[in-house]
Structure formats: structure tokens, C-alpha cells
A and B are shown apart, each in its own frame.
Chain A
Amino acid sequence: MSDDHVDGNALAGDLREIFAVDLTTATGRCAGCGYRGSVATLRVYRNAPGLVARCPHCEEVVLRLVRGRDRAWLDLRGTVSLEIPLPS
């Protein structure tokens, strides 16, 4: 695996366009290994047609986001759940 990745912080702008809250502060659980961590800590690879986020623990793909001109595709099959902080 190349070292050419950034982290989940880089997803913030694209996810904010889709969701009403900042999803990078959410805690996700990886479907591959069960690792729990902030979306901001995922490894994000941008050298694909879209963004591919992998688990920092087992490197399983947990989130993929492809953006077209007038739509986006979000693939979360590698994520069991997302715990999203909300303003109380």
C-alpha cells in the first residue's frame, strides 16, 4: 500500500455538502475488524475516481465517495455504524 494518503479530515467538505452536520467528528465502526474511531482518522486515498477511505487499523475500505456534476454516490458497506454527535 502506498503512503500516498491523507486523513479523514479531507472528507469534511464533500460530506458537509450531503449531510447537515460535520460527519468527520462521527465515530465509525469498521465492518472488517470492528475498530472504532473518528471518521477524521480514516486513511483517505484520492488517487481513485473519487475518495476511498480505509480503516487505519485493518485497511479495509470503509467509505467511498464519488462525486459527479449533479450527484454523489456514497458507499458505506464497510461501515457497521456511525455515531454522530448532535447539538443537545
Chain B
Amino acid sequence: MFDVPGWPGHLPGQHVDVRLTAEDGYSVQRSYSISSAPDGNRVELAVQRVVDGEVSPYLCDVLSVGDKIELRGPVGGWFVWRPADQAPVTLVAGGSGIAPLMAMVRTRASEGSRVPFRLVYSVRTPDDVLFADELRRRARDDAGLDVRLVYTRQTPEGSPEPPGRLGVATLNTYGWPAEFTPNCFVCGPTGFVETVSDILVALGHDLRRVRTERFG
């Protein structure tokens, strides 16, 4: 969570570039999605630690409350949901790809939007669910928001279904049908995004309505 003086506000789905500069002038930059709804100067980023990464270990392990960093943003105008757009929305997240989609879910609530949202969120195990409590609460309280979790390695205790990869049947059942011409937002690791967008197109969705963001 960062306080950014003079933050101009953002659209859900936009990201920021974080730049770290060493004393010798060496500088490295990475993009991180904003997971918060617009809220004054406050910006929340979800950062997944990459073991041999140059930026994320610093953000996760070294940076502490009160430290300053260089942020540039908000940037990106393509992978964004605009509350004025009344088409239903299918969100598909893989792992930490939930971050920009969470910003959309939160903005929908804060704007009092009634656009119907369906979120399909793929994680390895129940422990890997980011924003777990908030999603459970929102699925109950936010009218018109459906949340479906898909576990690829281990399911919660007592689950009737075995773990498995997100497939055609799940997206067909828990996303909006293509005939409703929903806006689809897919975010996650590159392989996940490729697979999901191929499935959505195979299910008849117009590729122009399938917007993707890959983490690499």
C-alpha cells in the first residue's frame, strides 16, 4: 500500500511502473497491477516474489513502512474496465493475476455498478487464494458478483471435486455465454492466459472482447 501525493486516480486494470535505482546509477523497472479501487492518494499493489527477481524481493523483503520508492503511473489504457460500459463481465485470474481484476471488482462495488460480474479464479491450493476473506464476503454481499475458485493441485477439505486445470467446461459453466457479448478480462502467467483466451475464442467469444494481461 502506497501513499502517492498528487495521485490523479486510476481506472481498474491499470498498472504502475516501479523503478529502483542503485547508488551507482544502475536502474531496473517492473510493472505491477493496481489492486485497489480509486481512493484518493492511496494505491495498493499486489507483488508476487520472484525468487531470482531484481525488484520483487526488494519490495517484499526489504521495503518497510515509511520507505519511499519511485512510481510511474497510472499507465495502460487497454486492459481496463470502464464502469460506464454496461456489458456483463467475465474475469479469469490465474494466481496473482487476480490483482487488476480485484481492482475491477472493488470499483464495481464502490461505484454502485450493477453490471453482472463473474470471476473464475484459478489457484494451486486453498492457501494460495489472495484476498480470500474479502472475496468470500463480496460473493455473499455484492449483488451480481459470482466467484468460482478452481484448484489445480489441492482442493479444500471436503470438496467433492478433484483438483484440476481450468478447462472448457468450467469456463463454459461459470463465465458468461458468448451470446451475452461479455467483456472478458484474463490475467495471469503467460501460459495460463494463452490457454484461457484460446478456450474463450473456441467458446465463440469475439477476440476483440477478450482482453489479456500476461505476467511472463
Contacts and interface: CB of A to CB of B under 8 A. Distances in A.
B73 A25 contact: no
B167 interface: no
B93 to A, nearest CB: 15
Nearest to B13: A9
Given A4-B190, A12-B15, A22-B78, 18 more contacts: A3-B190, A5-B214, A6-B190, A7-B212, A9-B15, A9-B79, A9-B213, A12-B78, A13-B15, A13-B16, A13-B72, A13-B73, A13-B75, A22-B75, A22-B77, A24-B78, A38-B78, A39-B78
A4 B216 CA distance: 5
A64 to B, nearest CB: 17
B31 A25 contact: no
B210 to A, nearest CB: 10
Interface of B: 15-17, 25, 29, 31, 72-73, 75-79, 190-191, 211-216
Contacts of A3: 190-191
Contacts of A7: 212-214
A6 B73 contact: no
The A interface, classified by DSSP as helix, strand, loop or mixed, is: helix
Top 8 A-B pairs ranked by shortest CB distance? Answer: A40-B78, A12-B75, A13-B17, A22-B77, A12-B76, A6-B216, A13-B75, A25-B77
A57 B214 CA distance: 16
Interface of A: 3-10, 12-14, 16-17, 22, 24-25, 38-41, 46, 69
B100 to A, nearest CB: 9
A20 to B, nearest CB: 13
Contacts of B29: 13
Contact of A25 (B15, B16, B78): B78
A10 B32 CA distance: 9
Contacts of B190: 3-6
- Quick one: which of A9, A12, A13 has the most chain B CB within 10 A? A9
B27 to A, nearest CB: 9
30 contacts: A3-B190, A3-B191, A4-B190, A4-B216, A5-B214, A5-B216, A6-B31, A6-B190, A6-B216, A7-B212, A9-B76, A10-B31, A12-B31, A12-B76, A12-B78, A13-B15, A13-B17, A13-B29, A13-B31, A13-B72, A13-B73, A13-B75, A13-B76, A16-B75, A22-B75, A22-B77, A25-B78, A40-B78, A40-B211, A69-B25
A68 to B, nearest CB: 11
- Quick one: which of A4, A40, A69 has the most chain B CB within 10 A? A40
A3 to B, nearest CB: 6
Contacts of B79: 9, 40
A14 B25 CA distance: 18
A8 B71 CA distance: 19
